[in-house]
Structure 1
Amino acid sequence: MLAVAVALVVHALTVALTVGGIWFLVRGWGGLGMIPGAFLLALGWSLRPRLTTLPEDKPVLRRADAPELFALTDEIARVAGTRGVDAIAIDAEINASVQSYGIRGQRLLTLGLPLWEALTPQQRIALLGHEMGHYVNGDTRHGLVVWSAYRSLTTWHYYFEPVDHDPLDDTGALTLILNLLYVVPRLLVRGMLTVLDGLTLRATQRAEYLADRVSARTGSTQAALECMDQLLIADSASVTLQREVNRAALNGPRGRQQAAAWAEGLWERLAADLASVPEHERERLRRAGALRGHSVDATHPPTHLRHACLLIGEAAPAAVVADDDQERRIAGELSAARTKVALQILRDGY
């Protein structure tokens, strides 16, 4: 409730800027009052709450493009106690995520191919179960009110960033004064961001634990634990992909057909490399992760605590079991996206 209250204060400031801009324009129409009016309206517009849209730089699949993948996601969603997603985006991240987009709150699942290709079919079900679990349990930080307040505060912080200046330049003194004036508002904005972080972090981490429970219920506790372990070798996946990029740059594909052939085998080579990591090395990474407090990012609980939480009580069997034929059909549906993302990695590096 406090987080929502802080977020509403942030949005109230945006409304005040917009109303103030309209007032200046009306009162000073045709005069100097239009200058601050236009400035305040532009500022209010840049800080407005914005709805998320579908990404334009990633392959996005609809139900007609991947009926088997959507059918699997729908089945997992039913077990989780929610509905499926409306679109699936594919990217090159070693991650997966869900979010809402559009006015009607449609659902977008983003699958990072390096993670997806490294998982077994049952581990993929556990991964999808975890992501669907976020829609079941809720997360204050990712709600529209608080999330858009984060975005507005981040924009404010960008506006108050120090301006680079050369002391020998004619405008150096003016820039220095401007930077000094920015100090207090920048600290205030950073303080607001810190407050929102403190108020929502516990709920965000709790949502991750609850999503792990959904993951275990859909794909089995064992598959959920194995999926979590794959995150510990994410650095190995990054190294493998960078090695492939370097190899392609030195003596790799020449021409479109060769590049497509290279891209086709990238994911198989990545999966083989990660599968070759021996169990004793995985155990070492688990222990090192526990000592370092490894987590996916600052919003996730430490991985070893998530691991320990899943081991409390009896192990859950899989409510959704992988089907080999369905997996082959899903692989076919993802083939174009696999090639496109692999070529993107080849072109842009990793």
Structure 2
Amino acid sequence: MEAVEEVAAPQVRQCPECGTEVTVHVRYVSWCAACDWNVDPGAPDPDRGRLAQVRRRLARRYGEQLAEEVARGGSAAGRVGADRSTVLAFGLALLVHGVTAGLFLAAAVLIIGGWHTGIQPVLGGLLLVAVAVLLPRPGRLPQGAPLLYRADAPGLFGLVDEVGAAVGTAGVHAVVVDASANAGVRTYGFRGRRVMFLGLGLWEILTPQERVALLGHELGHFANGDVRSSFVTHGALRTLGAWHSFLVPASRGNLMDWLLNTLLFLPRWAVYGLIHVLDGLTMRASQRAEYLADAGAARAGSAGAAVALLDRLLISEGVEAHLRRESVTAARAGGGSGGREAREAAERELWERLAARIGSVPESEYERLRRVSARRGHSVDDTHPPTHLRRRCLASADPRPARVVCDGPRARSIAAELAPARAALARQVIRDHAG
């Protein structure tokens, strides 16, 4: 298998709407930059229901308001603080945890005070089971994915430490490498240790300086705080989700189920309402945290690298399709005469071919996706501001040089440290996608 496949040369045609010359790339949508003909030929976003539409409108409004604040250098440009919504969110979260604490106390009273009755300790034991389900739990490291510690990848951890210092925080204790086109950070364990998740589907399509911006963005969440991901608030959302799952109606259709579901109707919808209230109270703070994390990306890797990173996020939706296509091709090659050698070659070249494919995307396709993003209000999810607003804020900010530089030798050293994980994940991706 060749590392880079041939691409047909672009052609020129006239726009059927305005007659402007349009460059046609065989792999990508043909569209007109002058009149936006065919700029968004895909199906519209699916209808997500009334509550989801209200939530999305609210998210867009917050995103626009915060973008204006960032442009003015207002409160959104500073560290996430305890505004009214944040205070209310913490109050509601503590109330939820207070109910769990009340259940624990009730269980203790039933077990200790009613031990001689026989039935009360049983009821208390059932309440303790419920408390065990509802208690917030610290995060855990995933099983099965390549896991790196400082001794395994000193160069990578050194880069993370340097980026952390640039954005005003410490590094991480562990790095989990997977095949996704994503990245993230969170804490794990009762000591609150930090872990970073690096998806090779995203990491491999970035330039070294864009990787610095990515690290700056993720570590920026630790530096600035995010009420939604805090132990108290996140735990309350998880507890409410457990309540709602318990109260979801059964579907067997007998009379007893009907009576039970009728009795649980109001509690179920009360819990559902609390989930949406807590979600709404934390949404604005979460979006503000994303703008601040973007500022961290620009501070660490440069504004240009941070802008380019957001463009890569727009194109990263095609990573999964490319990996699936490569895996099917590898499976077919593996069934031929040189099967094992062909499959091993596919595994070795998987990430290089992905990087080459994304690297060949023309600027016109990036511009089209930026316009589609603005039309549809594209965002990673509703806790993130619209991508085009994030990009606009970064592009309009004063240009700053990178505080952290990842040059060629450093990038190659880190690539060597990631080589075992890259090989293992390439085998896994080809096996999973090829069936």
TM (normalized to structure 2)? Answer: 0.76
Whichever residue aligns with residue 303 of structure 1, its letter is: T
CA deviations on 1:87-135 (whole Å, 9 max, x unpaired) are: 1111122111011122222111111110000101110011001111111
Q: 1:79 aligns to what SS in structure 2?
A: helix
Larger radius of gyration: 2
Partner of 2:186: 99
Query: Helix, strand or coil: the match of 1:244?
Result: helix
Partner of 1:14: 100
> Corresponding residue for 1:3?
89
Distance 2:250 2:296 in 1: 47
Could you tell me which of 295, 298, 301 is aligned with 1:219?
Answer: 301
Verify the 8 A CA contact 2:111 2:121 in the aligned structure 1: yes
- Tell me how far apart the structure 1 counterparts of residues 427 and 245 of structure 2 sit (CA, whole Å): 33
CA 1:249 to 1:320, structure 2 compared with 1: closer, same or farther past 3 Å? same
Aligned residue number for residue 48 of structure 1: 135
Q: TM-score, normalised by structure 1?
A: 0.94
The equivalent residue for 1:143 is: 230
Of 96, 109, 122, 1:35 maps to 122
Offset of residue 347 of structure 1 = 2.7
Number of the residue aligned with 2:310: 228
* Count of aligned residue pairs for this structure pair: 345
Q: Deviations over 1:243-297 (max 9, x none)?
A: 1233234443798776544222111111111111111011000000110001111
Counterpart position of 1:299: 383
Change (3 A) 1:71 1:23: same
Out of 347, 355, 358, which is 1:271 matched to?
Answer: 355
Alignment of 1:120-131 (within 5 A): 120-131=207-218
1:200-251 CA-to-partner distances (Å, cap 9, x unmatched) read 1111100100111111111111110001001111221121012123323444
Secondary structure in 2 matching 1:349: helix
Residues 87 and 107 of structure 1 are in contact (CA less than 8 Å); yes or no, is this contact kept in structure 2? yes
Supply the RMSD in Å over aligned alpha carbons. Answer: 1.8
| Structure 1 SS opposite 2:215 | helix
Task: Extract structure 1 runs of 4+ deviating beyond 4 A.
Answer: 253-260
Query: Aligned partner of 2:422: which letter?
Result: R
Distance in 1 (alpha carbons) for counterparts of 2:341 and 2:250:
48
Say if 1:141 and 1:200, in contact at 8 Å, map to a contact too: yes
1:253/1:262 contact within 8 Å kept: no
Q: Describe how 1:1-350 pairs up with structure 2 within 5 A.
A: 1-29=87-115, 31-165=118-252, 167=253, 172-252=254-334, 259-349=343-433
Mind listing any 5+ residue stretches in structure 1 that lack a counterpart?
A: none
Counterpart code for 1:2: L
The amino acid of 2:208's aligned partner reads: P
SS of 2:119's equivalent in the other structure is coil
Specify the alignment match of 2:36 in structure 1. Answer: none
Cα distance in 2 for partners of 1:195, 1:217 equals 34
1-structure distance, mates of 2:403, 2:347: 34
Query: Would you say the 8 A contact 1:125–1:218 is kept in 2?
Result: yes
1:50 and 1:260, CA in 2 relative to 1: closer, same or farther beyond 3 A? farther
Q: Is the 8 A contact 2:304 2:395 kept in 1?
A: no
Q: Distance in 2 between matches of 1:18 and 1:253?
A: 59
Deviations 1:149-202 (A, max 9, x none): 11111111211222232x4xxxx2222332333322221111111111111111
Could you tell which deviates more after superposition, 64-73 or 190-199? Answer: 190-199
> What amino acid is the match of 1:286?
R
What is the one-letter code of the residue matched to 1:321?
V
Question: What is the identity, as a one-letter code, of the residue corresponding to 1:265?
Answer: E
Q: Distance in 2 between matches of 1:256 and 1:181?
A: 61
In structure 1, give the amino acid aligned to 2:281: L
CA contact (8 A) 1:7 1:149 kept: yes
